[in-house]
């Protein structure tokens, strides 16, 4: 390998912002923050999701407010047709479907 072209590998602490879990790993990531762990200073990288807070690994699920989303959509786009219920009742325009034609025979000479 060519010298001085690869980034330096060092121990870095990744911290989950939701659960507070910290993981010390080897990484080349650059960061301005640092944290003291086990009496030694390490560069700190904050992450939103890790195995300590991800629903797949923790077995917990978050309930989404789907009813609120439908109402929000209706308020934004349903005014022209009178609300969400009217928007849902409105049927799409019938597409003009051409009647199938009988296959034509090639012209004879």
- Based on C-alpha coordinates, what's the Rg of the chain? 30
The token pair at 72 is: 């929000």
Average pLDDT, rounded, for the chain: 75
Domain boundaries, the chain: 10-58
DSSP class of residue 26?
A: E
pLDDT of residue 11: 93
- The answer, yes or no, to whether residue 4 has pLDDT greater than 80, is yes
What pLDDT is stored for residue 25 in this prediction? 92
Q: How far is Cα 51 from Cα 3, in angstroms, rounded to an integer? A: 36
Give Cβ neighbours of residue 25 (< 8 Å, ≥ 6 apart).
11, 12, 14
pTM listed for this prediction: 0.49
Is the pLDDT at 30 greater than 70? The verdict is yes
Distance CA 90, CA 81 (A): 8
């Amino acid at each position: 390998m060519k010298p001085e072209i690869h980034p330096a590998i060092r121990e870095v602490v990744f911290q989950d912002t939701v659960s507070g879990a910290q993981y010390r790993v080897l990484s080349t990531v650059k960061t301005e923050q640092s944290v003291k762990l086990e009496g030694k200073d390490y560069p700190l990288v904050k992450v939103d999701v890790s195995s300590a807070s991800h629903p797949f690994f923790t077995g917990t699920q978050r309930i989404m407010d789907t009813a609120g989303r439908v109402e929000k959509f209706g308020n934004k786009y349903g005014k022209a047709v009178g609300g969400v219920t009217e928007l849902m009742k409105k049927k799409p325009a019938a597409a003009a479907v051409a009647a199938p034609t009988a296959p034509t025979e090639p012209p004879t000479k």
